[in-house]
Amino acid sequence: MQIYYRVKAAGRRRPVLEKAEASLPDPIRCLRDVIQAIVADEVERFNARSMEQSIFPYLTPERLEEQADTGKVGFMAAYDDRKADAGQAVKTALQAFEDGIFKVLINDEAVENLDDPLTIEPGSVLTFIRLTLLSGMMR
C-alpha cells in the first residue's frame, strides 16, 4: 500500500519537509507496524548511500534549488562507512514515541497509542511531529 509521510519540527523556520512516499506491507494493524516499516525503509536507504565522492563536488543551480525546497542543501555524500542497525533504529523510534518525543497524525487525526487498531487507506498522509523540549536555567 502506498502512503505519504512528512516530518515537522516545532519552532523551525521551515517546519514542513516535502512529503515522502512509502510502501507499507499488508496487513498494517497498528501504529507500531507503520513505524517499524517506515524506519526499516529509512535505514535501508541510509545504508545504501554512496561512499563515492567526486573529485570536484559541485551543485548545479537546479540541484541547489531542489534541495533548498526540501530544507537541506548538501552534497549527499557519506563520510562514514558504518551501517545503521534496523532493529535498534526501530526500537529507538518506538521508545521515542512512547516517551512523547514525537506525535503521529494520520490524515490530521492524532494517534495516541502504538497498539490501537488503525485503518489506513492508500494515499493517506502521515505526519510525524517532533517535539522539542525547552532547556535552560530557572531563576
**Distance in angstroms (rounded) separating the CA atoms of residues 116 and 46:** 29
- Answer yes or no: pTM beyond 0.75: no
Q: Cα–Cα distance between 122 and 14 in angstroms, integer?
A: 27
One-letter amino acid at 60 equals T
What CA–CA distance (Å, rounded) separates 71 from 61? 15
Q: Which of residues 11 and 39 earns the better pLDDT score? A: 39
pLDDT at position 30, please?
93
Ranges of H-type helices in 25-84: 31-47, 61-70
In this prediction, residue 47 carries a pLDDT of 83
pLDDT for the residue 55: 46
What integer pLDDT is reported at residue 13 of this predicted model?
A: 56
Q: pLDDT per residue over 76-117, tens digit each?
A: 555 667 788 999 999 999 999 999 999 999 998 999 999 999
In angstroms, the CA 62 to CA 49 distance is 21
Residue 58's pLDDT is 62
Cell of 34: 507503520
Q: How many residues does the chain have?
A: 139
Q: What is the pLDDT of residue 75?
A: 65
- Whether omega for the bond prior to residue 25 falls within 30 degrees of 0, making it cis, is no
Structure confidence by residue, pLDDT tens digits, 20-66: 888 888 888 999 999 999 999 989 888 887 555 554 456 677 777 77
